Amino acid sequence: MPPSHSSATDPWEAVLERLDDAAKLTAVDPDIHRMLRRPQRVLEVSIPIRMDDGRVAVFTGWRVHHDTTRGPAKGGIRFHPDVDAHEVTALAANMTFKTAVANLPFGGAKGGVRCDPRLLSLGELERLTRRYTIEISPLLGPDKDVPAPDVNTDGRVMAWLMDTLSMIRGELLTASVTGKPLAVGGTLGHAGATSSGVLVCVRAAFNAVGRPLVGSRAIIQGFGKVGGPLAFLLSSAGMRVIAVSDVTGAVHNPGGIDAFALSDHVAATGGVAGFDMADPIDERDMWALECELIVPAALDGAIDADVASRIKAGVIVEAANGPTLPEADPVLDERGVFVVPDILANAGGVTASYFEWAQSRQGYAWDEETVATRLRSTMETAFEAVWAKATNLNVSLRRAAFALAVNRVADAIAARGLFP
């Protein structure tokens, strides 16, 4: 059984709270509301693999479909020791709403394996990936469910997944997964797409609140696949990144952190701790630093009511999934903090995945400029739609984003009807 969560931190309960609020805001049909409060399917699988020392270890994995009314299920796969069914289900629901906000022809899914990949050899990691793929294979396929990388997974893992599924089915299924290496049908621009989408939202948010981007100070929580590239992008846009944290610690330099030097340090040491061009700082103190922008780009639940009460930034752009707990929303609203929610801010990644899926199905690769232009256009259109909804309903961007998403999914459900 998955570990239990308290009601305050259960990610599924947090999603339901926001779904219920959106349903009230938009007067969604009660029957459709009830349907969206339950995932379509939750598959839990046992994953036995042979370890390098000869023993058999058994891991647990999940693949969850929340809703597939608007298209094939879409969502990443994460390998993490704290993964459980509640988390995966919540993330699947958020993917339903994220793809709807970006107006992509996908539904919502998520997958995970409870493991610590840092303790696995390359061979063990490959065997784990392939056995997990076999166990969830009945759900997968270009028109059914299209996985992508997430926490602790990457293009190599996606290539193993695609190869395994192709071997099972006896046909090459490049469109069955996204985030693949270019050598097997990946797309240009996918690696930094989430970060690029976050930058679009940062620009739009600062424009909305009437603040200049150049010279403003930023804090990034997380220096991985999203936070790392984002530090470069924000610096290039004229911002000063004054603090960065990851699992190893946090560092602060009020004059601005050199993103290139920090990246080299992380590559050499495995984390930001010990970076000699900035001072160490406790992460809890980092949240309270004077700045204009905070970007949580790590795991969920980082901003609770206490953290929210100490934040001095005027803008938060959520690059991570579910970084703000529902208890923190009224605190941030009361203090006038402009929050761009995760289902909008980090939709650049799934947008690039949509582009890759389309290219794989067409058998025609786009050039990098086409990918970048279409990504920027999609993110700007999504922000404008959420902003219009927020203005119309006189609510925060988070409430507006969920309201817009629930409306779009509900419209699709109503149009298709209920079978049988």
Catalytic residues: 110
192 vs 246, 264, 347, CA distance in Å? Answer: 18, 18, 12
Residue length, the chain?
420
Q: Which of 294, 349, 416 is nearest to 155 (CA)?
A: 349
Q: Ramachandran region of residue 133, left (φ > 0), alpha (ψ -120 to 50) or beta? A: alpha
Phi-psi region of 212 (alpha: psi -120 to 50; beta: other; left: phi over 0): beta
Residue among 375, 347, 371 at smallest CA distance from 359: 371
**Would the CA dihedral through 165, 169, 175, 181 be positive or negative?**
positive
Q: What is the edge-to-edge ordering of all strands in the sheet holding 217-221?
A: 279-280, 249-252, 240-246, 217-221, 293-296, 315-317, 338-340
Is there a contact between 240 and 216 (Cβ–Cβ < 8 Å)? Answer: yes
Strands, E assignment, 56-106: 56-67, 73-80
Could you tell me if 111 and 146 are in contact, meaning their C-beta atoms sit under 8 angstroms apart?
Answer: no
d(CA 141, CA 85): 22
Who contacts 95 (Cβ-Cβ below 8 Å, separation ≥6)?
66, 74, 75, 106, 107, 108, 109, 110, 350
- What is the bridge-based pairing of β-strands 145-149 and 107-114? unpaired
Q: Are strands 107-114 and 73-80 parallel, antiparallel or unpaired?
A: parallel
Cis ω for the linkage preceding 420 (within 30 of 0): yes
> DSSP letters of 349-381?
HHHHHHHHHHHHHHT-PPPHHHHHHHHHHHHHH
User: 182: which DSSP letter?
Assistant: G
